[in-house]
Amino acid sequence: MNRKIEDYIRKTFTNNKAVVANPTCYIYDLQEITDRINEIDKYKLPNVSLYYAMKANPNKEVLKHVLKHKEVSGIEIASIGELNIARQIGLDDMSKVLFTGPGKTPQELEEAVKSKIRYINVESVVEAIRINDIAKRLNIPKVDILLRVNINYFLDGASEYMAGMSTKMGIDQSRFKEDYSYIKKLSHLNICGFHVFAADGVLDYNILLKYADFVFKFVKEAETVVGKVKVIDFGGGFGIDYTKAGMKFNTKDYFIKLGEILKKYSFEDKEIILELGKYIVGSAGYYATKIVDIKDCKGMKHIVTAGGVNHMRLPIATDRKHPVYIVKMNEDKLYNEQIEVKNETVDIEGPLCMTEDKISWDEYIENANIGDIVVLTQSGAYCYSASTLWFLSHELPLELIIK
Ligand SMILES: Cc1ncc(COP(=O)(O)O)c(C=O)c1O
C-alpha cells in the first residue's frame, strides 16, 4: 500500500466526523481506475470493445468516472436496478448498455426491450420467447440479442466458474442445435452473436487464449447453422492478484496473441466485447476498519474490528485472503496490561455474533494495537455491494473517493 493512501486513511480516521463516529469505510482511488482503463486501451485490438461490468462496483462516483473515459463503450448490467443507477448518473444513451444474467424477470425484459438497449444476452429458450412476445406486443420489429452459450470447455485456473460445467448460465453447448431450432422461429429476434463468459479471476492470459480458440471453433461451426454473426462477447475474467506479490494480468501479450487467433479463424471483422469488472475497479479499492478490541483466547489472538463480513464478505465467501496492512494510530492504552499483537499470527474478525465473521485469518502481523486501522487492499470489486450489509443492523461503511 503506498504512502499516499496510508496518509489519507490516517487523516480520514482522525478528521472525518462520519468515519470517526462509524470507524469503517471503503476508499476508491479514481486514478487507479483510469490507469487500468488506459492500460487496456493502449494494447487492445481495433475490433475489441471495452464495457464495464457494473456489478463489480455500482458506486455512482465510480460509475460516473468509468463512463467519463471514451475508451469505455458502455456498461454491462445484470438487473434493471443497475440500469436505474446508470440513468441516475446521467447515462441516457441506451445503445451503451448490454444486459446479461440468468433469471431476468419478464418485467425486466420488457424494460430492456422498451429502452432499446444495445444487446440483451439471452440465456435460455424461455427468455428468447418472452422477448419475442414483448417485441410483438410493442410493435418492435427486431430486438438485437446475443445468445449466451455455456461452452463445453473448463478454463482450469480461474477463481470462479460460470460455465464449462453444469450451471444455470446460458444455453448448454450440447443442446445448442436443439434450442436454436426453437429460437430461429422467433421472428422479432435478431441474433447478432454469442456471449460466452465462462470464468472470473484469471491471471494467466494463456488460459483465456486457449478458451478463445475453443470458442472460435464453436462459432465457426455454429455459423453454418445460424449464419454469420457480428459479435463475440467474452464477458469478464481478467484477474487481479490478491497476494502482496502484485502479479499483473499481461494485457499486452493477451491482445497480441488474441489477434493471431482471430486471424487464424478469419474473425478480424467480428467485434470482440469484453465486459470487465474486477480488472477495472478491483485494485482501486481499500476497505479500512478500526481495531476495537484484541483478545487472547486459548492460545491465539483475535483482532476485533468495527466492520466484519457485513461490510467485507468477499474473502470468506471465496476462501481467499486480501493483502492486509495496519495503519498505526498510536492511541493511548486503556490499561497497562492491554493486549497487543507483536510478530504473531492472528485472525481478524468483525463484530458479528458468529465465528465465521472473519475478514482475514492466519495473518502474520508485525504490530497492531487497539485504535489502529486494518486495511484490506484489492477491495474495489465485489466487496461493498456483495456483502451482507444489513446483518446485525450496523451502520453502513462510508464510501469515499480519492479524485
Ligand atoms: C456476464 C458477466 N460479465 C462480466 C462479468 C465481470 O467479470 P469480471 O469482474 O471477472 O471481469 C461478470 C461477473 O460475474 C458477469 O457475470
* pLDDT tens, position by position, 48-90: 999 999 999 999 999 999 999 999 999 999 999 999 999 999 9
Q: Other CB atoms closer than 10 Å to residue 96's CB: what's the count? A: 17
Nearest to 201, CA basis, from 65, 61, 378, 41: 378
The confidence score (pLDDT) of residue 118 equals 98
Which CATH number describes the domain made up of 3-27+283-402? 2.40.37.10
Rounded to whole angstroms, the Cα distance separating 140 from 132 reads: 9
Of 3.20.20.10, 3.90.76.10, 2.50.20.10, 3.30.210.10, the CATH number of 30-282 is: 3.20.20.10
What predicted TM-score, i.e. pTM, was given to this entire model? Answer: 0.96
Residues of the chain within CATH 3.20.20.10 domain(s) are 30-282
**Range(s) within the chain of domains with CATH label 2.40.37.10:** 3-27+283-402
Q: Distance from the CA of 138 to the center of ligand 1, in angstroms?
A: 31
pLDDT at residue number 6: 97
236 CA to middle of ligand 1, Å?
4
Task: For residue range 99-112, list pLDDT tens digits in order.
Answer: 999 999 999 999 99
Contact status, residue 233 vs residue 269, Cβ threshold 8 Å: no
What per-residue confidence (pLDDT) applies to 159?
Answer: 78
Q: What's the rounded Cα separation, in Å, for the pair 30 and 380? A: 11
How far is residue 211's CA from residue 219's CA, in Å, rounded to a whole number? 12
Contact of 309 with 358, CB cutoff 8 Å? yes
The region, left, alpha or beta by phi > 0 then psi within -120 to 50, assigned to residue 250 is beta
Q: Hey, whose CA ends up nearest to atom 6 of ligand 1? A: 236
Asked if residue 20 lies in contact with residue 290, where contact means CB atoms within 8 angstroms, the answer is no
Handedness of CA 367, 373, 374, 380 (dihedral sign): negative
Pocket of ligand 1 (CB under 6 A): 53, 55-56, 76, 100, 197, 200, 235-238, 275-279, 381
Pocket test for ligand 1, best of 76, 123, 318 (most atoms within 8 A of CB): 76
CA of 129 to the centre of ligand 1 (A): 25
pLDDT at 89: 97
Question: Integer distance in angstroms from the first to the last C-alpha of the chain?
Answer: 17
Indicate the top mutation candidate among 49, 55, 72 to test ligand 1's pocket, ranked by most ligand atoms within 8 A of CB. 55
Is residue 341 a contact partner of residue 368, using CB atoms and an 8 Å limit?
yes
Query: What does the block give as the cell for 397?
Result: 461503511
- State which residues of the chain have pLDDT below 70: none
Residue for grid cell 483478545: 295
